[in-house]
Amino acid sequence: MIRGIRGATTVNVNEKTAIVEATTKLLKETIEQNKVTPDLVASIHFTMTKDLDAVFPAEAVRLFDGWANVPLLCSSEIDVEGSLPFCIRILMTVNTTQAQDDVQHVYLENAVSLRPDLAS
């Protein structure tokens, strides 16, 4: 069965290091909480708000051993007035036997405000 795992985080500055570090932390937390291995991942879609453009967030995945063959896609988040700035989001599509209610979505930093009901 295929499930989507959502997550988001924020950074304070539009800098490559900050974006890669925040994305790495978000991915590690998502992987750990959902016991994901690269062979279970169909793809990962990343979005960033328009105020972030220093690096592709998918670059963080390339630092993980064994994840080189996971398909990755980066795009811009829709620019909605009043939306959370400096935000990085992920949608990880995985093969799993977990029930939808057992999937652990991960929201970190200021992104907790996006889904306080799902934030851990």
Binding residues: 6, 89, 107
Structural domains in the chain (count): 1
Residue 119's pLDDT is 61
Q: pLDDT, tens digit, for every residue of 33-50?
A: 999 999 999 999 999 999
In a domain, 120, yes or no: no
Q: Are the C-beta atoms of 40 and 11 separated by less than 8 Å?
A: no
Collapsed DSSP state (helix, strand, coil) of residue 79: coil
Residue range of the domain that includes 26: 2-113
Give catalytic status of residue 6 as yes or no.
yes
CATH code assigned at 95: 3.30.1330.40
Q: pLDDT, tens digit, for every residue of 104-119?
A: 999 999 999 998 887 6
Single out the catalytic residue among 6, 21, 29, 59. Answer: 6
Q: pLDDT, tens digit, for every residue of 74-106?
A: 999 999 999 999 999 999 999 999 999 999 999
Give catalytic status of residue 74 as yes or no.
yes
Single out the catalytic residue among 3, 87, 107, 109. Answer: 107
